[in-house]
Amino acid sequence: MIPAKMDPISITPIAEKGVDSIFDWFEQHKQSFYILGCTYLSHQQQIEELFFRSIIKVHKQLPRIKSETSFETWVTSIFIHICRELSDNHSLQVSVERESRQDIFKALDQLKLEEKEAVALTYIKGISKEEAAYLLQVSLEKLKELLFSGIRSLRKVLVDGTPSEGCKEYHKDYIDYLERTMDRSKKIDLEKHIYHCQDCQEDLATFQDVMLTMLNLAEKMEDLHVPSGFMENIKARLAEKEKHRQLKNKKRIRKGLIFAGVFAIFIGLEFFTEVFSNRYYSWTEENQELRTYLEKDLGERLNLEAESDGVKIKIKSVIADDVQTLVFYQIEDTNEDNQFMLNYGDGLFVENEQEIMSSVTYPTYYPPDFESEVNNKEKNVYQGKISLLPLSKDNGTIKLKITSLLNLIQDSSDQNGFRINENLGYKTGEWNFEIPVTKQPSIEYALDEETKVEGIPVRFYKLIMAPTATVLQYGINIEQQVKRIDNLTFANLEVNNKKVKPGMYGSSFLDLQQDMNWYMFQTHFSPLFGEKPKEVKVQFESVYVSFDDQKTIELDASKGYSQTFEYADSTISIDKVEIGQPTTAVISLGDSKNRAFQSLHFNIEGEGENQNWSMEMESEGVLVDKNGVEYDMNNPIPHEEIEQPRYFETSYRVKVHGDKVIPKRLVLFGYNKMEYLDDVVKISLE
């Protein structure tokens, strides 16, 4: 049985508003999804990553949601898939604080994955068996088998002694009987048998005890509070991702490599030959980057075209390798002077993605090319490129479906001459392509070098030389309990005295695990065609570090406010507390200069008429460049001119929603900071 169909009215606003609306939806359903995440993962940072990835993926795949599926069921399927991806990484050090970890969560960890998922979805998240079977892609009978075996396995953990096994032919009836969904005739037969069978009496009784114990624990988990600041952290990460995208849209893009050739000489040497024909078409290509690929026989002209409502999309060529699948395209508006671009996840998806593409990594984001000469020629034509997942096969046909385009507008007030047209938003339509593609070979070089950044080991594993990018794979050790690296950036990569820069969005987490004490990452750099590396130099740029440093500050309203205290070599003050609905508190962090941290992780604990309250937080801050110059966030900021900016939070305004909650304690968990680096690591390959 398939779950109830989605209400199209409820999903429309989510689709229109984008990722913010999806975040709001998760905010409303955070409790049940947080508990579900806890059944897979045991660490706070993993669960935060789970929510972050789920929101991004739901936003990306929203155009392909099936009409026969409820929205929550569809989101749950994505959530579970990401749970599985992250569940192998059990070594993060920031534990989720929960009293019940020693009972139901610990017990669930003993089950097989299928059993745990069936039990968690049915009894913890509380969805119907039909829905759970649909999500797990099993029959209803199979789901019941998994529930039975899962409860039997839980019994070994939760019940002392060795209970009787009962009669196997009646095992399949236990769940229906206890849940009172069994047919009357079957129920009578079972009860007759149980009356005369001591083993089945004991077996069914202990089975029932486990079910009741689990349901009681599941009810207690409804009181499991989502940690303070949890959703705020995710929202901040989403905002940071969007900010980087906006900044990147405004940044000037360096022109591609210009390859000069003496046209007349090649005409004399290769006239009327196939080689000349290939080179001729390569040179006549306007896009210099694509021209380079064509010249090197790494792709071919396609010129596939589709039209919808007067807008033509032409797929000019596709370059595929083990890193990504690059699609070069041109969009022409034949009705008006509009320029449109493709944006991955916004109305663009590969229908047969699971069949021919690998999901080990993520596509690279390429912002609009505002500087390109070809995009400043005609007001109704735009040429660009977009990255898709790499192929899992040597060749195949990409079934590309496009349903919306992002509208660009020329703007003389912007130094780049273009901006995204927020008013017009998207151009909708339907453009379908079947694109033949062949994967180009890449060369991998094993690396064996280890260094330390901020005292934390960093290990280099692999260098991949691919036609579309140079990729550095590395690991960050996560064994330390009080200090961890959240992000590591590089200034450049030098191979055989040739330096290449990293892409702004070229770094990603890898779902690979060389060692359970290491997290794997990779960074994309500009391609180095045909180089055979003898020595690699990696220059670091910055590191973002989190510290666990717990401290509890007792609050005493009788002393009045403000109240100050020392933390992380800085003076922090609680300027104001107002009791009400909500209760508000203002916390100042002081001057950003010479401060050991940029932001804090904290929670406010208090007393009220009941214990059901939640906390939301707003922050203010300043942007500080590498030279210490501060920029007020309330004024226009010249982002392109700022060198490696850092954002320092200066104050928090906290609202505690509940019945006149009286703050009693400020609990500090830790803080974050970014450090500039200039270290160079040399790696020999000879």
Q: What is the pLDDT of residue 158?
A: 67
| Highest-pLDDT range among 125-134, 405-414, 512-521, 542-551 | 542-551
Under 8 Å between Cβ of 119 and 147 = yes
Q: Which amino acid is at 457?
A: P
Taking residues 255-275, report their average pLDDT: 35
Residue 529 has a pLDDT of 75
Q: What is the pLDDT of residue 252?
A: 34
Q: What is the DSSP letter of 643?
A: S
Average pLDDT, the chain: 79
Contact predicate 133/142, CB 8 Å: yes
**Which has the higher per-residue pLDDT, 265 or 381?**
381
Is residue 334 classed as helix, strand or coil in its secondary structure?
Answer: coil
Residues whose CB falls within 8 Å of the CB of residue 272, separated by 6 or more in sequence, listed in order: none
The pLDDT confidence band at residue 647, using thresholds 50, 70 and 90, is confident
* Res. 198 pLDDT band, cuts 50 70 90: confident
Any residues with CB less than 8 A from the CB of 76 and at least 6 apart, and which?
33, 36, 121, 125, 127, 135
* Cα separation, 604 vs 555, whole angstroms: 10
Residue 473 has pLDDT above 70, yes or no: yes
Token pair 């789970």 is at which residue? 50
Determine contact, residues 317/436, Cβ cutoff 8 Å: no
- C-alpha span between 131 and 119 (Å, rounded): 13
- What is the separation of C-alpha 230 from the centre of its chain, rounded to a whole number of angstroms? 15
Distance of alpha carbon 66 from alpha carbon 407, whole angstroms: 26
Angle at 298 between CA 292 and CA 304, to 5 degrees: 90
Predicted local confidence at residue 506, as pLDDT: 67
DSSP 550-599: EEEEE--GGG-S-EEEEETTEEEEEEEEE-SSSEEEEEE---STT-S-SE
Q: 185-199, 340-354, 599-613, 646-660: lowest mean pLDDT where?
A: 599-613
Structural domain boundaries of the chain?
Answer: 8-221, 298-438, 443-534, 547-676
**Mean pLDDT for the stretch of residues 557-577:** 89
Range in 263-277, 283-297, 450-464 with the lowest mean pLDDT: 263-277
Neighbouring CB atoms inside 10 A of 438's CB total: 15
Binned at pLDDT 50, 70 and 90, residue 410 comes out as low
What is the pLDDT at residue 267? 34
State the amino acid at position 550 in one-letter form.
Q
Residue 85, H or E segment? helix 71-86
Lowest-pLDDT range of 34-38, 276-280, 356-360: 276-280
The confidence band for 475, taking pLDDT boundaries of 50, 70 and 90, is very high
**Range with the largest mean pLDDT of 13-17, 131-135, 336-340:** 336-340
Backbone phi, then psi, for 541, in 5-degree steps?
Answer: -120, -50
Q: Distance between CA atoms of 602 and 88, rounded to whole angstroms?
A: 28
Apex 570 CA angle, 564 and 576, nearest 5: 30
The contacts of residue 580 (CB under 8 Å, 6+ apart) are 660
Per-residue model confidence (pLDDT) at position 451? 96
Model confidence at 641: pLDDT above 80: no
Contact between 150 and 116 (Cβ < 8 Å): yes
Question: Can you give the pLDDT at residue 88?
Answer: 54
Q: Which residue has the higher pLDDT, 423 or 552?
A: 552
The answer to which of 99-103, 236-240, 386-390 has the lowest mean pLDDT is 99-103
- Please state the φ and ψ torsions of residue 623, each to the nearest 5 degrees: -100, 130
Q: What tokens appear for 396 in the block? A: 């195949």
| pLDDT value, residue 245 | 58
**615-637 residue pLDDT tens:** 778 888 888 888 888 887 777 77
Does residue 319 surpass a pLDDT of 90? yes
Give the residue-averaged pLDDT of 54-63.
81
Mean pLDDT to the nearest integer, 187-196: 82
pLDDT at 91 (0 to 100): 37
DSSP tag of 103: T
| Residue of 88 and 359 predicted with greater confidence | 359
Which tens digit of pLDDT belongs to each residue from 104-118? 666 777 778 888 888
In 439-534, DSSP assigns E strands to: 443-453, 456-465, 470-477, 483-495, 498-500, 502-509, 518-525
- Name the least confident of 376-380, 434-438, 516-520: 516-520
| CATH class of the domain comprising 298-438 | mainly beta
Rounded average pLDDT over 272-296: 66
166 contacts 199 by C-beta, under 8 angstroms: yes
pLDDT of residue 354: 87
Q: What angle do CA 633, 636, 638 make, to 5 degrees?
A: 100
Contact 589, 572 (CB under 8 A): yes
DSSP state of 3: P
How many whole angstroms separate alpha carbon 618 and alpha carbon 584? Answer: 11
Instruction: Look at residue 219 and tell me whether its pLDDT is greater than 90.
Output: no
**Residue 277, pLDDT above cutoff 70:** no
What mean pLDDT comes out for the span 44-57? 85
- Highest averaged pLDDT of the listed ranges 88-97, 116-125, 461-470: 461-470
Q: What pLDDT does residue 500 have?
A: 93
Query: Helices 8-17 & 19-28, crossing angle to 10 degrees?
Result: 130
Q: If you average pLDDT over residues 379-403, what whole number do you get?
A: 93
What separation in angstroms does the CA of 180 have from each of 175, 177, 183, 186, 209? 8, 5, 9, 11, 16
Q: Which of 618, 568, 627 is nearest to 597 (CA)?
A: 568
Q: State the pLDDT confidence band at 18, using cuts at 50, 70 and 90.
A: low
The per-residue pLDDT for 365 is: 82
CA–CA distance, 477 with 518 (Å, rounded to integer): 4
Report the share of the chain in percent with pLDDT over 70. Answer: 80
Q: Are strands 325-333 and 381-388 parallel, antiparallel or unpaired?
A: antiparallel
Taking only the tens place, the pLDDT of each residue in 142-153 is 888 888 888 877
Classify residue 286 as exposed, middle or buried by CB count within 10 Å of its CB (0-12, 13-18, 19+). Answer: middle
pLDDT class of 13 with cuts at 50, 70, 90: very low
Rounded to an integer, the average pLDDT of 9-19 is 49
Average pLDDT over residues 121-139: 81
Residue 113: enclosing H or E segment and its boundaries? Answer: helix 113-119
